[in-house]
Structure 1
Amino acid sequence: MEMDNFTPLSATAGGIMIGISAIMLMASLGRIAGISGILGGALSLTGGDRGWRVAFLAGLLLPGVVVLAGIAPRPDIDFVANGWLLALAGLLVGFGTRLGSGCTSGHGVCGLARFSKRSLAATATFMAFGVATVFLIRHIL
């Protein structure tokens, strides 16, 4: 298997931007950049801090809108699963973030940076299940 889509420069730039955004959110609002928590708070019927949450989420969605509008080139991505399987996977990820009290961004980026043992356990679990899923899909199924 060859990796012809490995792009270390863009991956590094993306990682740096994620780190900077997490630092900026913590420095400006004292909040952790955990996407599941930000989304949950934005959808909550209570709470007065919905504005920054909606703005943060809009910033996450904006690149997709730019691509769909034809302003930026569409990446060449082939999905090996159908839409229903992808939807089921998304629901399972959502369930897991509630069960684990956070998502990969909250635990993996922000929690590990704060040396949280709980985040280390959660991130190790995410990674183990990710590896197992890829192995299952590529080598068993």
Structure 2
Amino acid sequence: MTIVNFTPLSALAGGLLIGVAALLLLLVGGRIAGISGIVAGIGSQSDKGWRIAFTAGLIAVPFGVFTLNLAEAYSLQDYSPWRLLIAGLLVGIGTRLGNGCTSGHGICGMGRLSPRSIVATLVFMAAGIATVTLSGLGG
């Protein structure tokens, strides 16, 4: 399987796993699975343990999947390190301006029917579509 091949079954399975994980974190831990908030809280909150474990899992699982050749992804070697750095900084700035990221607003907030999260997710999607269209990366 390659990471860019869309299949309804794998998309459904992935969506279910993300939804169940977000729901479990909310029900068991009383926390919202907003990645930017979790990562930002590592340096400033007293409850660092679960935040570090959550973040480590976000890094370790994909690393393991790709190391074991269970999935393939495009190499980033074709992109300039400066381009990747700027892209990362823009994503970080966007999450601060939007008071959260796509996981917090798009999965957890929309699941709670939060109007603010619905608007934020629509803006995220529009910005993403515009970026891909204007940069010519849409295929």
User: Could you say which residue in structure 1 is the equivalent of 2:131?
Assistant: 133
Runs of at least 5 residues in structure 2 that lack an aligned partner in the other structure:
none
State the alpha-carbon separation in 1 of the partners of residues 43 and 71 from structure 2.
30
Query: Where does 1:49-128 land on structure 2 (aligned, <5 Å)?
Result: 49-67=47-65, 70-73=67-70, 75-79=72-76, 81-128=79-126
Deviations 1:26-82 (A, max 9, x none): 0011110000000001122xx3211111111111111233146x3334514155642
Aligned length: 133
Query: Which 5+ residue runs of structure 1 have no aligned equivalent?
Result: none
Which one has more relative contact order, counting CA pairs under 8 Å at least 6 apart? Answer: 2
Q: State the distance in 2 between where 1:82 and 1:67 align.
A: 25
Distance 2:79 2:136 in 1: 12
* Alignment TM-score, normalising by the size of structure 2: 0.86
What is the TM-score with the length of structure 1 in the denominator? 0.85
Aligned-pair identity (%): 53
